[in-house]
Amino acid sequence: MAFACRSRGLLPKVTATSARDGRFWGVASQFSQPSSFGSVRRQTTVSAAAEVQPSIGSEVKSINEIPGPMKFPIIGSLFPFHIYKAMDKRAMHKFWADIVKEYGPTVKMSVPGIPKLVGVTNPDDCETITRSTMDNPIRPALESLRLVRMKAVDNYFEKKSGLIVENGEEWRRVRTRVQTPMMKPKNVSAYLEEMDEVALDFMDRIAVFQEENGEMPEDFQVELYKWALESVSLVALGRRLGCLQPNLASDSEQMKLIHAANAIFEGMNDIEMSMKFWRLWETKEVRQLQKNHDEFLRIADKRIRETEAELLQKKSDDTSELKLMEELLLTEGLSRKDVVTLILDMLVAGIDTTSHTLGFTLYLLARNPQAQATLQEEIDRVLGDHKGPLLPKHLAQMSYLKAVVKESLRVFPLTLGLGRELTKDTVLSGYLIPKGYMVFTLNMFMAKDEKLFPRAEEFVPERWLRHKPLGPIHPYASLPFGTGTRMCIGRRIAEQEIYTFLTRAMQRYTVDYKYKDMDMITRLVFVPSEPLKFSFTERKRT
């Protein structure tokens, strides 16, 4: 995309003398926090540029030598981007693609209000950053979310913002205590049978839509939101919410939660990507975000209290396994508000992220019938004549299913990449980046690099299979759930939801899509640009 300001000559490359410190305006890395507090298994040789000191060799270049857009006093690099409309807040992937094309694989930016920023597109740099910040992973704070939570009625959050927002010791205090309950495979698979029931119910809804319209309705994405909320509430609240009821009223609590969650994501995107005037006075956008957040909080808190009341009524001799909320409430070192905030984040994040991933995946399967047929063959082979619920052993055997999801997240990632503040001077791609800089790993562009992913523009799930037919894959090139000690805390839950839906969908249907090619729209995370008007055809069983 050619920006208007470039044609006017307003984006000159900086020189060593004109380049200055950069600041980033706060793109979050997919609510990502991580899978293990142990060391990350070393899968590749660390780049020679990893973690050296400034005194090593004259071949290391200065931070001032990194190219990037011109910096202006006070507003930094925002003059060409905001004043001349070169930056579209709803198409950040195009903005960053243009920046990388203009200035190269390592670029320095300057934006008021957030630490100095360097963007990198080298997976070795991503590995170096992950390893060097493992002990204290500081990422860009969602300042807008922190703001509305600090202003919540009755000090609801007790001046704490939760895992999504916090850094440092407060983040670590909570993370270390929720790690096992949230990430242990056995804990997540305990919800598989109920997730399967939700998926089967949704397959019946698809049949009704198909019969009535000959395809899915214009607002099928909303139907996926309902499925996502119904699924994540099984884990977060220990029960279903009734989101899949026919003719669910638009003013129902379920729909209010969905609309509020959508509005929260959209509002945070607009605020975080804007000039920081809202730090000086309360803007209309902040007031709207506060309203939507309070609405979500009001309804979700009511549901959480209902679950708590049910847990209190459990008999002392009840030997059933603890639900997630119950286990968290009994965890030493976690307050009730710690648990409630985590549950709220699971609900609000779980609605958008899994449903959009699923929408993109169905689109790619529809546009790649051979991949869809291969997936159907695997599902038929694994399930055979099995009539009962899906079992963990079934999902464990579906390697192509997992490859399909990995490939979908490579082609249509939910975010551009990861942000980490350097905690020590670090060399990346030959440049010495001082401590305190925010480095943004642009994994979206790594995932489209032909050198890293042959046939990068194609949807090829086979590339992820064990025998790696297209060659080895750098483990830090595509990171849809983040990596290290801030990998997405809900990763296993989200994956299980998506695997279950796709298994039941491909077992019963063949999906098709006949409309405009899909792109992405930025709403804090990326969302499908077109209505999901899929056609689902019942498979003929032999």
pLDDT digits (tens, 9 = 90+) for 490-516: 999 999 999 999 999 999 999 999 999
Position 318 scores a pLDDT of 74
**Segment (H or E) for 431:** strand 431-433
pLDDT digits (tens, 9 = 90+) for 54-103: 444 458 999 999 998 877 665 666 555 554 445 677 888 888 898 899 89
Task: Specify the pTM.
Answer: 0.87
Smallest CA-to-CA distance from 36 within 488, 485, 492 is with 485
Q: How far apart are CA 13 and CA 452, in angstroms?
A: 27
Range 464-497 burial, b when 16+ CB lie within 10 A, else e: beeeeeeeebbbbbbbbbbbbbbbbbbbbbbbbb
Beta carbons within 10 angstroms of residue 374's beta carbon? 16
Contacts of 223 (CB under 8 A, 6+ apart): 202, 205, 209, 216, 217
Q: How far apart are CA 5 and CA 81, in angstroms?
A: 8
Helix, strand or coil for residue 413? coil
Beta carbons within 10 angstroms of residue 222's beta carbon? 17
DSSP β-bridge partners for residue 107:
119
Q: Which CATH architecture has domain 4-15+24-313+320-538?
A: Orthogonal Bundle (1.10)
Q: How far apart are CA 241 and CA 225, in angstroms?
A: 13
One pLDDT digit (tens) per residue for the chain, 542 residues: 333 333 333 333 333 333 333 322 233 333 333 333 333 333 333 333 334 444 444 589 999 999 988 776 656 665 555 544 456 778 888 888 988 998 999 999 877 666 589 999 999 999 999 999 999 999 987 889 999 999 888 889 988 999 999 999 999 999 999 999 999 999 999 999 999 999 999 999 999 999 999 999 999 999 999 999 999 999 999 999 999 999 899 999 999 999 999 999 999 988 887 777 777 788 999 999 999 999 999 999 999 999 999 888 887 767 677 889 999 999 999 999 999 999 999 999 999 999 999 999 999 999 999 999 999 999 999 999 999 999 999 999 999 999 999 999 999 999 999 999 999 999 999 999 999 999 999 999 999 999 999 999 999 999 999 999 999 999 999 999 999 999 999 999 999 999 999 999 999 999 999 999 999 999 889 999 999 999 999 998 76
Angle ∠(345,348,354) on CA atoms, nearest 5: 110
| Domain coordinates in residue numbering, the chain | 4-15+24-313+320-538
The answer to whether 283 and 277 have CB atoms below 8 angstroms apart is yes
